[in-house]
């Protein structure tokens, strides 16, 4: 069991990450800052996720003196293409059409920062999708509004229930926070 010695700040507006932290029985407060999520060309998917998580943690240098700050970034990689959050419904439909009947990888980079200590890591999960019809894609987009989700879907909602054939790796990583690795990292801090 993790015994908190310092307050934890979760720098994420993701309701899924907040839910996972609560399910881990962690006492935390949500703090938000706008951070530019751009990254240099040539990075591999895992490097992108870590780069952005570290960029987010850098926005909380003062808070790290007395708190543990946790940041994360999740990306979907499909055949060397990075699928971030969709720009609009058409873009979301394009993404889901690409993922239909294929497999892709979900990478989440996490940074835990306290004082001068910065620990970053990532997890990757392979996700296999059943084929989707255009009607299913349209229904999902209009009813579940996946604009805030990497790859335009949430594994924990309707599309995850009907489309995900199997996963290899951490389920919570696909939700946006690899809780197993986060817990181990907190214990090691």
Q: Would you name the residues annotated as active-site residues?
A: 73
How is the chain classified by DSSP, letter by letter? ----SS-EEE----HHHHHHHHHTT--EEE----------TT--HHHHHHHHHHHHHHTTTTGGGTSEEEEEEEEEEETTEEE-S-SSHHHHHHHHHHHTTSEEEEEEEEEEEETTEEEEEEEEEEEEEPP--HHHHHHHHHHH-GGGSGGG--TTSHHHHHHEEEEES-HHHHHT--HHHHHHHHHH-
* Total length of the chain: 189
Give Rg (Cα) of the chain: 17
């Amino acid at each position: 069991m993790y015994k908190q010695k310092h307050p934890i700040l979760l720098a994420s507006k993701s309701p899924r990450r907040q839910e996972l932290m609560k399910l881990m029985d962690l006492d935390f407060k949500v703090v938000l800052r706008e951070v530019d999520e751009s990254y240099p060309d040539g990075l591999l998917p895992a490097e992108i996720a870590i780069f952005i998580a570290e960029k987010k943690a850098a926005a909380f240098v003062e808070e790290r003196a007395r708190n543990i700050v946790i940041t994360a970034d999740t990306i979907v990689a499909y055949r060397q293409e990075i699928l971030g959050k969709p720009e609009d419904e058409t873009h979301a439909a394009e993404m889901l059409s690409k993922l239909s009947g294929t497999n892709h990888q979900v990478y989440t980079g996490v940074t835990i920062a306290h004082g001068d200590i910065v620990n970053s890591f990532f997890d990757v999960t392979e996700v296999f999708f059943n084929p989707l019809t255009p009607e299913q894609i349209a229904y999902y987009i209009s009813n579940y509004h996946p604009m805030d989700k990497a790859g335009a879907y949430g594994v924990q909602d309707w599309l995850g229930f009907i489309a995900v054939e199997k996963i290899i790796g951490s389920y919570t990583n696909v939700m946006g926070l690899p809780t197993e690795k986060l817990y181990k990292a907190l214990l090691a801090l």
